Structure 1
Amino acid sequence: MTELLTTWWVWLAAALVLVILETLVPGFVFLGFAIGAAAVGLMLFGPLQLVSPPMLFLIFAAFSLVAWLVLRRLFSLPTGQVKTFDRDIND
């Protein structure tokens, strides 16, 4: 199992599954995790080949958090903006 967690294609497959979940349940939650998994998968090609699985999960969590915060900042409504309706759409 440990050997499987340090394989690059497992992380990229997990990223793909999370992107598919994001299309079913929108809200940028799964997309942040997908970006984190893709980042770890791509980093396993280079310097992270000999990193232990707990460290990979820590890196995954850090990348996911940063990605989620960036997505929230980019796609959220401006501060203080509230959608109000002045009239009924049935009138």
Structure 2
Amino acid sequence: MMWAVWWVWIVAGFALGVLEVLAPGYIFVGFAIGAVVVGAGLGLGLLGGSLPFLLLVFAVASLVAWLVLRRVLGVRKGQVRLWDRDIND
């Protein structure tokens, strides 16, 4: 029953946050926020129950966090800058 322990979710969230720093691209940050939300809910006594319910809360919280971050931070149009004129012109 490790999934019912609040600090396990918090540690998993921080581990996913570290993974996001090592592999940037806003991929793992939504999952990290979702895990911290579930851990905080368990720690405060707001959540409880079975593993499928906790995974559902984790999935929904991760999706909402990812969508909000995508809206706030925006979508990258491209990383390569194409110059159509010379700066000396």
Runs of 5+ unmatched residues, structure 2 = none
Pairwise CA distance, 1:41: 0.1
Deviations 1:31-90 (A, max 9, x none): 0000000000000021213x11110000000000000001111111499xxx6522357x
Change (3 A) 1:23 1:88: farther
Q: SS of the residue aligned with 1:44?
A: helix
Alignment of 1:78-89 (within 5 A): 84-87=82-85
Q: Determine the C-alpha separation between the residues in 2 that align with 1:10 and 1:28.
A: 22
| Equivalent of 1:37 in 15, 35, 49 | 35
Deviations 1:7-35 (A, max 9, x none): 00110010010000000111111000000
RMSD of the alignment, in Å? 2.3
Q: Determine the C-alpha separation between the residues in 1 that align with 2:86 and 2:47.
A: 58
Aligned residues: 84
Q: Determine the C-alpha separation between the residues in 2 that align with 1:57 and 1:8.
A: 13
Q: Determine the C-alpha separation between the residues in 2 that align with 1:8 and 1:35.
A: 14
Q: TM-score with structure 1 length normalisation?
A: 0.81
**Percent identity between the aligned chains?**
52
Moved over 6 A (4+): none
Q: TM-score with structure 2 length normalisation?
A: 0.83
